[in-house]
Amino acid sequence: MRIGIMSFAHLHAEAYIQNLRAIPGVEMIGLADDQPERGQRFAQQFEANLYPSYEAMLSDQPDGVIVCSENSKHRELVELAASAGVHVLSEKPLATNLPDAQAMLDSCQQAKIILMTAFPMRFSVPLLELKQTLDRGDLGHVYAYNTTNQGQMPINHRRWFVDKELAGGGAVTDHTIHLADILRWLLNSEVTEVYAQANRIMHADTVEVETGGLVMLTFADGTFASIDCSWSKPLNYPTWGGLKMELISERGLTIVDAFSQNLTVYNQASGGHHWAYWGSDANQTMLEEFVQAIQEERPPCVTGQDGYRAVEIVQAAYQSIKTGQPIMI
């Protein structure tokens, strides 16, 4: 199995290259990037083959590629891979607007290739345990979710994340998308109404995109959920983001922290600190699922359609922010 990485714009590419190399029978064939300096830097850092262009990589006939470009560039790379008949795992959000997301679905369907959306939280052990508990009916009827995906403003990781044209927005785009997907998955229900508010109270002098947001979702089954998607952690916080939820059901309160498997490491020399993860690696399991789906010629457990639905929720949130009204979808 031969897999390449298209663009190192996204921070996650740095983890994915190591994940690919850890899968038996998989050859990480290299990377390509539309910014030569960035491509050369990461090719040297990871001792990886650097293709002169995306077309050159695809002409080498990989079995699959991972698209890690800036959000607004996902469509062009997915369509390029589809035209070459190469399976795709695309970073989230799948696109920055619904027409692009639909075009990606259409091109991959026509080419009869896999389009998987990179939602690693579907493979988080705490969330998988919650999913199993819910599916067994152990918690009884679910009334509501109170969820958070707070984190740092990601300007120090990749500056394009605070560029509206490249990222599609700010905190609402960055930190709503995971929970929009997770809630659909846990509930086996679709969102019917979205209401959202956003502001720039935090980092107002630094960026022009929204840095704080609260999104309210109503599902077809009557469940409602809140998502705090704010970049509210300090810039020296030990991790970029996080994902926590409180589930209120007829049998009580269930609290889940998807990133609890870590140690806090303090560096006396630098004065900094970081989280060292000791538990499961959701990225690793997600990439293994992508590889297995290609091998077994089946749809992955997280599809392009899942990516589309999450984009639909994010776009409805922005429409609600603009109008001040709930949006039906």
Angle, helices 98-111 vs 304-323, to 10°: value is: 170
**d(Cα 172, Cα 174) in Å, to the nearest integer?**
6
Structure confidence at residue 208 (pLDDT): 93
Beta strands at 87-90 and 64-67: parallel, antiparallel or unpaired: parallel
Q: What is the dihedral of CA 270, 275, 233, 122, to 10 degrees?
A: 150
Contacts of 213 (CB under 8 A, 6+ apart): 170, 171, 172, 175, 176, 196, 197, 198, 199, 228, 229, 230, 317, 321
The yes or no reply on domain 2-113 and CATH 3.20.20.70 is: no
- Annotated domain spans of the chain: 2-113, 121-282+311-328
Single-letter code of the amino acid located at 99 = P
Task: List the structure tokens of 85.
Answer: 């008949």
What is the total residue count of the chain? 329
Cis peptide before 93 (omega within 30 of 0): yes
Task: List the structure tokens of 144.
Answer: 């509501």
End-to-end CA distance of the chain: 40
Structure confidence at residue 259 (pLDDT): 80
60 within 8 A of 29, measured Cβ to Cβ: yes
DSSP code, position 209 = S
Can you list the residues of the chain whose pLDDT is less than 50?
A: none
Contacts of 53 (CB under 8 A, 6+ apart): 32
Structure confidence at residue 328 (pLDDT): 98
Which CATH fold topology does 121-282+311-328 show?
Answer: Dihydrodipicolinate Reductase; domain 2 (3.30.360)
Q: Is 280 helix (H, G, I), strand (E, B) or coil?
A: coil
248 within 8 A of 143, measured Cβ to Cβ: yes
DSSP 120-137: GGGG-HHHHHHHHHHHTT
Q: Give me Rg for the CA atoms of the chain.
A: 19
Single-letter code of the amino acid located at 266 = Y
Query: What is the sign, positive or negative, of the torsion defined by CA atoms of 197, 233, 175, 122?
Result: negative
The model's pLDDT over 57-92, given as tens digits with 9 standing for 90+, comes to: 999 999 999 999 999 999 999 999 999 999 999 999
Q: How far is CA 148 from the centre of its chain?
A: 15
Q: Is 200 helix (H, G, I), strand (E, B) or coil?
A: coil
Phi, psi of 303 (to 5 degrees): -105, 175
